[in-house]
Amino acid sequence: MKNIYSFFKGFFLFVAFVASFTVASAQVLRSGYFVDGNVMRYRLNPALVSTRGHVSLPVLGSVTVNAVGNVGMGDFIYKSAMNSDELVTFMHPSVEADDFLAALEDDNRIVLDMDLTLLSAAFHAWGGFNSVDLTLRSMSGLSLPYDMLRFMKVSGDGEYNFSDLNLHTRNFADLSIGHSRKFTESLTVGARLKFLFGLAYADALFENMRLVADASRWEVMSRGTADVAMGGRFEVSDEKSVGGKNMVNGYDGAAAGLHGFGMGVDLGILYEFKKGALEGLSLSASLNDVGFISWSKAAHASIDPGVPYTFDGFDNVAVSGDENTLEDQWDGIADDLEDFFTLEDKGTRSVTEGIGAKLNLGVEYEMPFWRRMSVGLLYSGCFDGIYTHNQAMLALNVSPLDCLDFALSGRVGTYGAGAGAMMNIHCPGFSFFVGTDCFLGKVGKQYIPLENMNASVSFGVNIALGKSE
């Protein structure tokens, strides 16, 4: 990571790559919340005991990639007017400003979550259900205010407000130990204790940023901070200064290792009506990822809003021959952003943050005419600062065979509507699932999503243990 500001370019390209991969190839799959045979559903609610125990195949036990957003890559990448097989950025002069700006929101956000299970085991013993999981988890978010994108494209005279401009990424290993048990015939309670090992963290937040543009100058006044915990330090340069102080010009010395530590907990409850008029009805709730990570010796930089500085503007990144590829254009934008975001190195500090608490509330009803079919309603909320989002999901679940489950789901929430599905096979000695919480929408020839960045894929291969409970 040569330069922290180049992450703007890298993040866009990475999200595009992941979304493209999902066409061909977080939180655990929510479409499987009500599937009894789903060996991983205890990770959504520790009280939801899977019917079999399992031992995961290394790295393949559960893989989830989830992207959500209120904009899509199609809002930033366009077909060239001269060559339909060539792509250009929104900064290209052939892209009309009105067309680009009309597709944007006041706050344009993209969130990418990844969950990779390295090792996992679960089994029935000691009066309940027990689990041990080692998982790599990643969350990256980008929030771009409308005015910033408008200024980049139009650069006209006037005043622009870039409040709540944010770039965030947290990456950590999660070692979880869980136990759940029935306290009565109807009531099941579960919990998971988490030990969190921080691998990499970066956060850049400009909470109050104003630019005044006129014929004589482009003046920027900003209040912002940046923290990076990757084992390195910010670089400064005497070629970039404000008020006689040398400003950050990059980030150097990133190294693999543990850069933070934290703890967390998942709590869950399930109540099943076994008799009477409500027989077949179940209620469930969970509160997951209640915890924190403390990042030690994070490189810290900030800018005083009382010290204005001038900005020369964004260069023309138009395509000019075969050499100026789409990646070259993003490089040009990243270089301009480097000049635009000005911060003073302040040494190091410790940063403590939450990991995005999640609430799940579920209602399921088994059909009295066929107990192998059920309908479930699930509310899910993620509470993670400016990346907080909510959704409601309706699922139809069918188990035509003892070892085969299907689920179809539809959802609506902060980032729009979508549909998902899951197939789950769980025979003695073998378990496999694959599914999505949101099918990828319309894509271009290059498999870049043209609509909102909402897509997910999840799959897992495990060795099933014991008889179906």
Q: The domain spanning residue 411 has which CATH number?
A: 2.40.160
Residue 27 pLDDT exceeds 80? no
Phi first, then psi: give them for residue 336, nearest 5 degrees.
-65, -40
The proportion of the chain whose per-residue pLDDT surpasses 90, expressed as a percent, equals: 46
CA–CA distances in Å: residue 133 to residues 55, 56, 114, 116, 137: 10, 9, 15, 11, 12
Mean pLDDT, all residues of the chain? 83
In which domain, by residue range, is 423 found? 4-465
Q: Which of 164, 196, 162 is nearest to 177 (CA)?
A: 196
pLDDT bucket at 149, cuts 50 / 70 / 90: confident
Range of lowest pLDDT (32-46, 236-250, 360-374): 236-250
- Report the pLDDT averaged over residues 85-90: 75
* Per-residue confidence (pLDDT) for residue 439, from 0 to 100: 81
Q: Of 353, 290, 289, whose CA–CA distance to 135 is shortest?
A: 289
What is the b/e burial string over 273-309, where b = at least 16 CB atoms within 10 angstroms of the residue's CB?
eeeeeeeebbebbbbbbbbebbbebbbbbebeeeebb
pLDDT for res 451: 60
Q: 353-380, pLDDT tens digit by residue?
A: 999 999 999 999 999 999 999 999 999 9
Token pair 């999503």: residue: 449
Q: Hey, what are 2's tokens? A: 């040569």
Check whether 344 has a pLDDT greater than 80: yes
Which pLDDT score is estimated for 251?
A: 83
The confidence score (pLDDT) of residue 358 equals: 96
Who has greater pLDDT, 217 or 258?
258
pLDDT tops 60 at residue 6: no
Q: Can you tell me which residue has the tokens 């050499």?
A: 323
Q: What is the tally of structural domains in the chain?
A: 1
Residue 278, helix vs strand vs coil: helix
pLDDT for 68 equals: 83
Average pLDDT over every residue of 429-457: 75
The residue among 425, 430, 373 whose CA lies nearest residue 396 is: 373
pTM of the model: 0.86
Average pLDDT on 169-185 reads 96
